Amino acid sequence: MIHKEGRLLLVVLLIVFAGANYAAINYIENGLITNLIILTTVVLFLLVLQFFRNPPITVKTNDKAIYAPADGKVVVIEEAEETEFLNEKRKQVSIFMSPINVHVNRNPVSGLVKYFKYHPGKYLVAWHPKSSTENERTTIVYETEKGTQILIRQIAGALARRIKWYLEEGQKVDQGSEFGFIKFGSRVDLYLPLDAEIKVEIDQKTKGGRTVIAELA
């Protein structure tokens, strides 16, 4: 299944690459160059195609679990001060999404979207210490039925130049359902309660909507 964010781009690329291959076959006499052009366009198209894949998943909802909001790798587990909304110390878990990961973002919990804000900004590499505060990003705060607040950030990276989101303040959301998409490499930060029990380790691979990042007390 192809994500809606990539469908138009893939159609345009298909037309452009088909035109390039037609021209190469009919107007370039050197067979080696023609074959290189065809091979290059096929490889590029397949790379973009795999980036926008959106495989269906089955979400097992769990009121105590905080699911990974994205496919990727855990790169940060530490205590950090959250100063935009929560204004308190939290456990931060960050997931880096490489260009080969599925880039769908999923709600880590069910509940109410208490706060949402989009921040324009820079495009530092996603693992840069200042990317969380200086890069283009969104901040989302979920409030569960028990009143627990979970904050996450979509952060653009050096290649990711477009963040998409499909929620707004006051909206009720379901755990594991899709809330956004980041194109071409990025990072997602979670700010969890200090008493949450972390269930992942540094460098562990995550699957959005399936990997349990932490459990609430």
Indicate which residues carry an active-site annotation: 186
Q: What is the DSSP string of the chain?
A: -B-HHHHHHHHHHHHHHHHHHHHHHHH---HHHHHHHHHHHHHHHHHHHHHTB---------TTEEE-SSSEEEEEEEEEEETTTT-EEEEEEEEEE-TTS--EEE-SS-EEEEEEEEE--B---TTSTTHHHHBSEEEEEEE-TT--EEEEEEEE-SS---EEE---TT-EE-TT-EEEEE-SSEEEEEEE-TT-EE---TT-EE-TTTSEEEE--
